[in-house]
Amino acid sequence: MSHIALLGAGRIGQVHARAIARTPGATLVAVADAFPAAATKLAQDYGAEVRDIDQIAASDDVDAVVICTPTDTHADLIEQFARAGKAVFCEKPVDLSLQRVKDCLNVVQETGAALMIGFNRRFDPHFVALKAAIDDGRIGAVEQVTITSRDPGLPPAEYVKVSGGIFRDMTIHDFDMARFLLDEDIASVFATGAVLVDPAMRDLGDYDTATVVLTTVSGKQATILNSRRAAYGYDQRIEVHGADGMVQAENQRPADIEIATSAGYTKPPLHDFFMTRYTTAYEAELSAFLAALATGGAFSPSGQDGLEALKLAEAALTSAQTGQVVTL
């Protein structure tokens, strides 16, 4: 049984608390949050204690921490808990600054701490099956990857301000997925961003609509299609073409029915967002973390994966802002 503490009791913290509760072999011991009420609520719901960060770092009954706090605290917390000898699972990104991430990963390496980064989509069962089909040689050598990722709606302006922008906040998941599927170094990044959803995004210095093309050293191409708006729900699709064929994963639906009337055939909208779309992925992600803890196996995606995805985000931002292709 792994004893886990949760740092951050917000939206994504609740997702992880639920995953812990549903995972055999894991128990939630403690919860910390800057807002005591949030920590108390979550602790009560799952039979855990409220403790502060330092108490958790010093707790003998905690094996691992799951970091769901705001991004600007991630690197400090990773370092603190790495030094405290706890295994660390941290939500993406490690930090918005490449240098800060590198420094943090150095501490992780020095302490020999276990660190896994929360790229949850790698654990979605359908994407897992897609990756397995590629690895099994079903479509031959990968040539083109297309990732569609559309949020149902804009995040609050307050969130956008500290998010690091669409590429670091949203596309970063797609960069990780592209790397995961291409399995080859990226040579160049092209990105174009626009403000088509809400003019307020322009004032915030961000984009709400973006298209990114990654080209690998051998010429493989990955396209990422992003928007902060999708009227029909959280749109998450992957399509991979190889020498011998294609594999794709379509969207999942909470109510998979079809109604046919004189207006045509209608299916209900998609999941409303990641909390419901990736429920199974979050559980599988936690299980992978626990399995690595238990077996001493590799923690994947690693801190380095987090760093590489952030590098691509930086390059995409530069490309979009300059209108030029960025060579890595």
Nearest to 5 by CA among 94, 66, 76, 79: 66
Reported as type and span, the H/E element at residue 64 is: strand 64-67
| Residue 77 Cβ vs its own copies, minimum distance, rounded to whole Å | 28
Reading across the β-sheet that carries 2-7, which strands appear in turn? 49-50, 26-32, 2-7, 64-67, 87-91, 115-118
Minimum distance of its own copies from residue 133's CB (angstroms): 5
As a whole number of angstroms, the distance between CA 222 and CA 178 comes to 7
Min dist. Cβ of residue 268 to its own copies (A): 5
Nearer to its own copies, 58 or 243 (CB): 243
Closer residue to its own copies, CB minimum distance, 93 or 233: 233
What whole-number distance in Å separates Cα of residue 285 and Cα of residue 293?
Answer: 12
Four-residue CA torsion sign, 175, 177, 181, 183: positive
Dist CA 206 CA 164 (whole Å):
9
Q: Which is nearer to its own copies, 97 or 144 (CB)?
A: 144
Q: Smallest distance, Å, CB 78 to its own copies?
A: 30
Find out whether 247 and 134 touch, Cβ atoms under 8 Å: yes
Strand partners, 191: 212
Q: Which is nearer to its own copies, 93 or 152 (CB)?
A: 152
Shortest CB 289 distance to its own copies, Å: 19
Q: Which two tokens stand for residue 209?
A: 């609509």
Nearer to its own copies by Cβ, of 255 and 298: the residue is 255
Cβ nearer to its own copies, comparing 21 with 204? 21
CA–chain centroid gap for 194, Å, is 23
Our CB check for its own copies shows the closer of 34 and 128 to be 128
Gap between the Cα atoms of 316 and 12, Å rounded: 26
Q: To the nearest whole angstrom, how small is the minimum distance from the Cβ of residue 303 to its own copies?
A: 29
Q: In sequence order, which residues have a C-beta less than 8 Å from that of residue 1 and are 6 or more positions away?
A: 25, 26, 27
CB 109 → its own copies: shortest distance, Å?
35
